[in-house]
Structure 1
Amino acid sequence: MSFGFKGRALRSAAAIALISALGTPVLAEEITYVSGVVGKAADNFAALVKPWEDMTGNKVTMVPMPASTSDQFGQYRLWLAAGNTDIDLYQTDVIWAPQLADSFVDLTEVSKDLAPTHFPSIIQSQTVNGKLVALPIFTDAPALYYRKDLLEKYNVAVPKTWDELTVAAQTIQDGERKDGKGDFWGFVWQGNAYEGLTCNALEWVKSFGGGQIVEQDGTISINNEKAAKALETAKGWVGTISPSGVLAYQEEEARGVWQTGNAAFMRNWPYAYGLGNGDDSAVKGLFSVSTLPVGAEGDSSAATLGGWNVAVSKFSKHQEAAISLAMYLAGPEAQKQRAINESSLPTIVALYDDADIAAAQPIIPQWKDVFLNAVPRPSAPTLGKYNEVSSKFWTAVHETLSGNGSAADNLAGLEADLTDIKGDAW
């Protein structure tokens, strides 16, 4: 018996459940999902997709990618350029839509009921030339993690400015080392030369009033005194309140130092909150989060807008099943599960008022304050050239932090490089 579902995508998880209840065999295909992995994301993925597998009879295999988003993007671009048919779904960074759109299925029609339940700005970020090329599965905005017990021990307030953070971190670091903790640090963050450094440095620059590298109208704004001051401030942390090795840190290296109890402050994404309160964590129950500091009183905090989405490959041989999984992962059931189990921020607005999420992860409703300070990376104005722009930016920043040239000189060189990349237009 046929119910007419062949040849078109399932509209929602409810539709999948209905077909399952009717007893009709549904696809029974094996599909492949590729994603970067941080924290326990790989371990949690099997539980996340199990309800969908049970409802459809399909099976999902996750192909883990390096945590570095820069490495992920490079590999994705190679696969898609080659028309790879082995990957059905790609977990994509919020900034990649303009660059990879031509290789993804348009999900506008199939998600016409689901998409309006998400934050409009996030849906818009995944819409290219009128086509919704990826569905949001969780959003991201980093925060300042701090040890409540140590701030109280040393009578230190939660820092509001980067200078206050510097002083607070040094005070606590000095005190803890006098108590015998020789490997204790004041502040850990992501200083490796990769996309994560673009995120960190954009926050420093923006919070000092130095702009957004390239403004929304396409103007290259990075070469200015406030941006230079921001980078020189961060340079001063390396080897003092932050280990020299921070210049090789990504998210997991920073979390490793923090979660073993060896740092007073950390800049990281929401995923680290739930892990930090795990039973195996040395800082369980001892920390909280706040908005990232500002350059000076009167400046605005900045948190780089992150987040992840799911896109269906045009080259997939299992598009119907892939679209069905994308809809499930972007829907309320999976987003709620991910919020509870991984402290990931939902993109469905109503979930911020969900009692179960608030009980399991009370920080999520509070993260709204961080999210309201989110600043986008300049992927929209730079279009397909964003990856080159970001690479030039993080390279100039890393050179500055490493002591290879002043911030002013490196930003002047960066402006020249970006002008060449821009050419007549982005």
Structure 2
Amino acid sequence: MRKGFAVLVIGVVVMAIVASGCIGGGGGSQTSTSPTPTSTKLQGKIVFAVGGAPNEIEYWKTVISTFEKEHPGVTVQLERQSTDTGQRRLELVNALRAKSSTPDVFLMDVAWLGQFIASGWLQPLDPYVQKDHYDLSVFFQSVLNLADKQNGKLWALPVYIDAGLLYYRKDLLKKYGYSKPPETWEQLVQMAQKIQQGERKSNPNFWGFVWQGKQYEGLVCDFVEYVYSNGGELGYFKNGKWVPTLNKPANVQALQFMVDLIHKYKISPPSTYTDMTEEPVRIMFQQGNAAFERNWPYAWALHNANNSPVRGKVGIAPLPHFPGHKSAATLGGWHIGINRYSKHKELAWAFIKFVESYQEQKNFAIHLGWNPGRTDVYNDPDVLKAAPYLKSLRAVFENAVPRPVVPYYPQLSQIIQKYVNAALAGDMSPQEALNKAQSEAEALVKQYS
């Protein structure tokens, strides 16, 4: 899940993907419990926790195998987490709250950084960076800063970045007389209705547009994209305090449009608000049952796999926008960090360096379709051959809209999920839903003031 979502907004981040559970700690000690790393020969065992789609897990096994060959004294045990991102967070939270020494190293959604940093669960990376003269300039600085400059320390490094994108069937656009993908949401509705009507003559299960609407973090990501592409915002920082603006008129209009996609225009299935997460959306599109799809970049490689029914028929573009505004994509992606309670921090750092190396970042882009956290990989000829869209859509990733980086983001996300989903289901009007969300968000912020 994807996984975009302009890091030009000060003090906030995107994506990503949070389930239930209260934030623990809120202010644990940030002092390192380990000495400065030494240069002794590496040997021992570390546990690496990671989840995701099955093909991602299989590729991580390849990464680990290559690392172990280069470091014959080190063994890496892969601790497979859930595919569901919210469950992945809870698994890590439970271990870290218990001060477990494992997993030693793990991936974190960008949306978790505020909680993990405030809770004191991460090992600062500064001693390792300084000792190895590690070059941080190769990373997207706006993304790197999400885990830097907080309490004056660097807490994690970006493995890959995400942003919401529009996938479309090139062959169907051509078939129905369209020369390019939609730039506005109105254009998308018109195209989707026409294509859906035509395709249903032979495929009654065909839909115009599929996206993530179930009550989970992915819905927040989609909501952010509609809101910001209409000139709205979730909130802003004032004197260091986050001020929610969930029920402003532009947001209500955006939510009404989301509702209309299902109930008025009928180009999105009713199951959107009950079942649609990243994978069901991807599968429906990949099986040839949709004209347009909102998803993260990971879907590109799967859509173009040898066994994909839509291989070679898929185009990719920035998400549409409302008239007078700009396209917006929620910032997503994953950072890698070290467990503060790990007994093998130097081994964990060696693994992080390997994962962040030019070659491995290049391999992630080629084999998984990921957008590297390193900027220098984007001009690699092999990468551009495998993922040609990276060059033209790099600006989408650089200017993705972040979600708020606040320690209470999991609770804030739950509020937004609950009421946006209620509106999609028709249980309350968009105005009523966002009024209730605003009230609860204000009460939440007050608890942390």
- TM-score when normalising by structure 2: 0.86
1:271 deviates by 0.6
1:118 deviates by 0.5
Query: Could you list the runs of 5+ residues in structure 2 that have no partner in the other structure?
Result: 1-34
CA distance in 1, matches of 2:81, 2:236: 31
The DSSP-based 3-state class of the residue aligned with 2:195 is helix
1:256 deviates by 0.6
1:14 maps to what in 2?
Answer: none
> Percent identity of the aligned residues?
33
1:259 maps to what in 2?
Answer: 286
List aligned pairs for 1:119-134, cutoff 5 A: 119-127=140-148, 128-134=150-156
1:9 deviates by 4.2
In structure 2, the CA distance between the partners of 1:170 and 1:38, relative to structure 1 (3 Å rule), is same
List aligned pairs for 1:401-416, cutoff 5 A: 401-416=424-439
The DSSP-based 3-state class of the residue aligned with 2:127 is coil
CA distance in 2, matches of 1:343, 1:111: 28
The DSSP-based 3-state class of the residue aligned with 1:96 is helix
The DSSP-based 3-state class of the residue aligned with 1:374 is coil
1:10 deviates by 7.5
CA distance in 2, matches of 1:40, 1:153: 32
The DSSP-based 3-state class of the residue aligned with 2:78 is strand
CA contact (8 A) 1:378 1:386 kept: yes
List aligned pairs for 1:374-385, cutoff 5 A: 374-379=400-405, 383-385=406-408
CA distance in 1, matches of 2:373, 2:395: 15
CA contact (8 A) 1:114 1:331 kept: no
2:52 maps to what in 1?
Answer: 37
Which deviates more from structure 2 when the two are superposed, residues 132-141 or residues 363-372? 363-372
List aligned pairs for 1:27-176, cutoff 5 A: 27=43, 29-38=44-53, 40-57=55-72, 58-101=74-117, 102-112=120-130, 113-127=134-148, 128-156=150-178, 157-176=180-199
Tell me which of the two structures has the higher relative contact order, counting C-alpha pairs closer than 8 angstroms and 6 or more residues apart.
2
Aligned length: 402
The DSSP-based 3-state class of the residue aligned with 1:230 is helix
CA contact (8 A) 1:8 1:320 kept: no
CA distance in 1, matches of 2:207, 2:436: 33
The residue type equivalent to 1:207 in the other structure is: S
1:360 deviates by 2.0
The answer to whether residue 184 in structure 2 is matched with residue 184 in structure 1 is no
In structure 2, the CA distance between the partners of 1:55 and 1:173, relative to structure 1 (3 Å rule), is same
Query: Could you list the runs of 5+ residues in structure 1 that have no partner in the other structure?
Result: 1-6, 12-18, 20-24
CA contact (8 A) 2:211 2:276 kept: yes
CA contact (8 A) 2:37 2:127 kept: no
CA contact (8 A) 1:188 1:258 kept: yes
1:396 deviates by 0.9
1:424 deviates by 6.7
The DSSP-based 3-state class of the residue aligned with 1:63 is strand
In structure 2, the CA distance between the partners of 1:320 and 1:408, relative to structure 1 (3 Å rule), is same
The DSSP-based 3-state class of the residue aligned with 2:316 is strand
CA contact (8 A) 1:32 1:62 kept: yes
RMSD over aligned Cα atoms? 1.8
1:425 deviates by 5.4
List aligned pairs for 1:261-340, cutoff 5 A: 261-296=288-323, 298-340=324-366
CA distance in 2, matches of 1:351, 1:39: 25
1:274-325 per-position Cα deviation (integer Å, ceiling 9, x unaligned): 11111010111101111101121x2011100111111110121222211110
CA distance in 2, matches of 1:174, 1:372: 37
CA distance in 1, matches of 2:361, 2:255: 36
1:167 deviates by 1.6
CA distance in 1, matches of 2:235, 2:106: 27
In structure 2, the CA distance between the partners of 1:134 and 1:10, relative to structure 1 (3 Å rule), is farther
The residue type equivalent to 1:275 in the other structure is: L
The DSSP-based 3-state class of the residue aligned with 1:289 is strand
1:119-140 per-position Cα deviation (integer Å, ceiling 9, x unaligned): 1111110122111111111111
CA contact (8 A) 1:10 1:323 kept: no
The DSSP-based 3-state class of the residue aligned with 2:99 is coil
CA contact (8 A) 1:143 1:291 kept: yes
CA distance in 2, matches of 1:132, 1:372: 20
The residue type equivalent to 1:181 in the other structure is: N
CA contact (8 A) 1:89 1:310 kept: yes
The answer to whether residue 371 in structure 2 is matched with residue 349 in structure 1 is no
The residue type equivalent to 1:386 in the other structure is: Y
CA distance in 1, matches of 2:38, 2:333: 25
CA distance in 2, matches of 1:313, 1:357: 32
